[in-house]
Amino acid sequence: MLITTGSPYHFRRNNFRFRLKSDLKWQDKRGNIITVPAGFISDGASIPKPLQFLFNIDDPNDSINCAAYIHDFPFTNNHQIIINSKFAPITLQRLDKLFYEILLDLGVDKATAFTLYAGVMVGSRFYW
């Protein structure tokens, strides 16, 4: 369940498109709260340009982008997430599964969520 969206807004610097005005918080089914802090900048969902028309990724508050912010944060934070207000290490495999779980929780249909999950499983290996 998304607790706060982080109030992302359009921001341009190099490849980055969005910045969070406030903390983004998401709660999993076990009650754990994952936080992405205010000020975090992201490119949102890194979907190749020829495929972007398939997804609504221009809206910074879109479910896909919100899941992407959580997925992107550990890439810039020494492979750690903030869970229950504490930094914790996370593997890339777990992070990718978490991305899929968040997409489903935020109402993205299974086919789209799986397509995006498969995309991050391939694409994120180059940046981890």
pLDDT digits (tens, 9 = 90+) for 80-122: 999 999 999 999 999 999 999 999 999 999 999 998 898 888 8
Tell me the pTM.
Answer: 0.85
The count of domains in the chain is 1
Task: For residue 21, give the DSSP letter.
Answer: S
Residue 14, classed as helix, strand or coil, is coil
pLDDT digits (tens, 9 = 90+) for 49-74: 677 677 766 666 778 889 999 999 99
Whose tokens are 């969902």? That residue is 45
**What pLDDT was estimated at residue 127?**
67
- Answer whether 94's CB lies under 8 Å from 81's CB: no
**What pLDDT was estimated at residue 90?**
97
Q: Give me the domain span that covers residue 64.
A: 2-126
Residues β-bridged to residue 82? 35, 87
Task: For residue 84, give the DSSP letter.
Answer: T
More reliable by pLDDT, 60 or 26: 26
